[in-house]
Every structure is written in structure tokens, then in C-alpha cells.
Amino acid sequence: MSYCGSCHKENGQGVKNIFPSLTNSKVVSGRKNNLLRKVIHGAQVEGQSTEKFDTRMSPFGFLTDEELAAILTYIRKEFGNGAGAISVAEIQKEKSVNQP
Ligand code: HEC
């Protein structure tokens, strides 16, 4: 709610044509690298979204590894995504290797 809810909303559904829905999302439940790059570095995600968005999301690499792991585990588990957790180690790896 503090960091992501202002745009993607409490129910994860976002705002049509402005902020993408994180519900039943292939981006959220799909390849971890893709999701991590997006949220940590603000990179474009591989084209799995059904809608196009004019705005880009700013990077969230300033959050602690623990915060990022908790947030991403939450959005992967909730909102009909039913995907596995993201570990602190996976966050650290992404922060260290992958620049956009
Ligand atoms: C200021 C508004 C804003 C905030 C805050 C925000 N996002 Fe986003 N987010 C966007 C926009 C706009 C896009 C789509 C544009 C893009 O792909 O760069 C997006 C895209 C995404 C996507 C890819 C969805 C898709 O289907 O392509 C994910 C995942 C995501 N955000 C997760 C998060 C998480 C997790 C947080 C909190 C750490 C967060 N966002 C905070 C605006 C925001």
C-alpha cells in the first residue's frame, strides 16, 4: 500500500490504460528475472501485457532487499497469481548484476 498501492491500487487492479493491473498477470507470476528487472531497475518488461502504457514506472531499487522480497512475494501470491516467493538472495542478485 505504501509504495505500490497509489498506482496499482489496493486490489491490484490498477487504473485502466494508466496503471496496469497486477491481477492474473503473466508478468507478475511469470519469469522472475523479468519482474525483478521491472521493479528494481524500472526497465521495460518483455511484452506480455495486454495493454500498452505511455508512462514508465520509476525504479524501486531504493527499497531494502527485505522490503522488495516481501512486496514481490505478496503480489505473486495474491491477486490470482498464485506464484512462488521471491527471496532476499534473488533481490540481491538482481541488484548486483542487472542494470537496464
Ligand atoms: C507512480 C505510479 C506507480 C507506482 C507507485 C508503482 N507502479 Fe508499477 N507500474 C506503473 C506503470 C505506469 C506501469 C506500466 C509502464 C511500464 O511498463 O513501465 C507499471 C508496471 C508495473 C509492472 C508490470 C506490469 C505489466 O503487466 O507490464 C509491475 C509488475 C509493477 N508495475 C509492479 C509494481 C510494484 C511491485 C510497485 C511497488 C514497489 C509498483 N509497481 C509501484 C506505475 C507505478
pLDDT at res. 43:
74
Q: How far is the CA of 100 from the centre of ligand 1 (A)?
A: 16
Q: 69: part of which helix (H) or strand (E)?
A: helix 65-77
Which residues have C-beta atoms less than 6 Å from ligand 1?
A: 3-4, 6-8, 19-20, 22, 25, 27-28, 35, 38-39, 45, 49, 53, 55-57, 60, 71, 75
Instruction: Report yes or no: 50 and 23 within 8 Å, Cβ to Cβ.
Output: no
Show the domain range for 74: 5-97
The confidence band for 98, taking pLDDT boundaries of 50, 70 and 90, is low
In tens, the pLDDT along 20-73 reads 999 999 999 999 999 999 999 887 776 555 567 777 788 999 999 999 999 999
* Domains contained in the chain, number: 1
Domain CATH code at residue 47? 1.10.760.10
Cα-Cα end-to-end distance for the chain:
26
pTM: 0.91
